[in-house]
Amino acid sequence: MTASDNQKRAALDPWDIGFGVVVFIGSLLAIFVWFPNDMRSGFFHVNQIGRSEPGDAFFPTVLAATLCLLSGLQLTLSILRGSPKVAAEAQGSLTASNMKFLALFAIISIAGLTIMYALGPLTAWAMRALGLIDLEYRYLTDTAPYKYLGYVTGGFLMTTALIALTEGRLRRVSIITVLTVIIVAIVIFDKLLTNVLLPPNAEF
């Protein structure tokens, strides 16, 4: 590789930089200007019984902070590494293989979300039909293990399947990572935030 090639590879991509700057500034404005002035209860608030709980701005702030972190990371990497030079002959058109990948991605996502949404209610319905429980699922959305069934099963199957699709294999580290993320999400949203239900339980 010549010095000219190295220089081209290290050149900054204005699209990467511009996109990162827009998202970074937009997320900061949302956190420090929009949310504080537009959302009544803020990040946390004290409810009528004196318990501290997430306010209206909690989830939007978490999302905006995540976007801020990711855009800052993108800017840093773009500035330090630059953008790789892509040869003209490497830029192909949309192929049948691309469409197959997109179709599989959509099928896995829809199937995973369906399992996440339906497994808990179906399990409760079957157990109720067999006389094992008396309550409908709407009364069990905050009761273990029913509230975990759809979220854990659907989330695990969907995420691991998408990883296997994109990487062409499923490694042990991927499984451990998915399980770790699910457990952390349960600890945060089900244990620490006592007034928040795991998805999709809040819909019932």
Each domain of the chain, given as residue ranges in start order, spans 8-81, 93-203
Of residues 77 and 165, the one with the higher pLDDT is 165
Which of the listed ranges 9-18, 104-113, 135-144 does the model predict with the highest average pLDDT?
104-113
CA distance 179 to 185: 10
Cα–Cα distances in angstroms (integers) from residue 189 to residues 38, 133, 167, in the given order:
24, 26, 29
User: pTM of the prediction?
Assistant: 0.62
91 pLDDT above the threshold of 60: no
- Residue at 151: amino acid letter: Y
- What are 119-154's pLDDT values in tens digits? 999 999 999 999 999 988 888 888 888 889 999 999
Q: What are phi and psi of 44, to 5 degrees?
A: -125, 155
CA distance 161 to 154: 11
Confidence bin at 96 (pLDDT 50/70/90)? confident
Cα–Cα distances in angstroms (integers) from residue 102 to residues 90, 96, 108, 165, in the given order:
20, 10, 10, 10
66 pLDDT above the threshold of 50: yes
